[in-house]
Amino acid sequence: MTANASAMRFSRCIVRLPSSCVTEGLRAVDVGAPSFSHLKAEHQDYIEAMEAAGVKVDTLAALPEFPDAIFVEDPALTFPNGAILLRPGAPTRRQESFHIAPALQKCFENVLHLPEPGFVEGGDVLRTSSKVMIGLSERTNLDGASALIKCLASLGLEGEIVQTPPNVLHFKTDCSLLDDETVFTTRRLAASGIFKDFKTIFVPEGEEAAANALRVNDVVMIGTQFTRSIDLLDGLGYKLVPLATTEIGKIDAGLSCMSLRW
């Protein structure tokens, strides 16, 4: 692809190793606990894919008291000129922001804090080349989104509040950027018209979870099980890196949530 991918250009990221308690992670639909050994292998492949894409990976130690702490994108946001510590909407995840703060303070001079009482999870936040979209959901409320817009403004960024479809965990569960002009999205999310300024590629019916792909520099990471989505994007000329996500998918997770990128 020749399109400008400035919103997807990264040189560093933070990940956190999974703890054995990750098998007890939150899940909207219980399809069985993931295999810890297989999930660890998926996470390691993810790290190696990041490195192969040209990203320096900072790996944090596991947090045994927090099953979902592997999903570092939810308690914080990172941008080239600063970071924002969030307040996750899931009560069991609220303290994860405190534990990731030291790592962010080592990387950024400017670390902001989302004020109470609102809450936001990073899975509801999509950065584009022109703005930052914040999806309201069960994990991100209006108070939190409004406060986040003020934090973003202090970093020179424009925020926009949008709506996540009912019964969808996070805004980015249903969309991802393929380049600065193109969104890979489910039809249920695009139906609201929020992507009117973008080219849209619709996820094949039955593979809605494939919408949480991840563009990193010149490649698009996508779950190996989404064969029709892989064929679709490959046919459009995207350079794909298929990664196993079966086990992390059992605890409501995908590719974007396992790293903080900048």
Please say whether the beta carbons of 77 and 86 come within 8 A: yes
Is 170 labeled as catalytic in the residue annotation? yes
Q: Which two tokens stand for residue 62?
A: 């596991």
The reply to whether 257 belongs to the active site is yes
Catalytic residue among 13, 151, 175, 257: 257
The closest of 208, 215, 132, 128 to 168, measured between CA atoms, is: 208
Catalytic residue among 13, 151, 170, 175: 170
Q: β-strand 125-127 against 76-79: which pairing, if any? A: unpaired
Rounded Cα–Cα distance for residues 60 and 38 (Å): 19
Helices (H), the chain: 36-52, 96-107, 142-154, 187-190, 227-235, 246-249
* Residues classed as catalytic: 170, 257
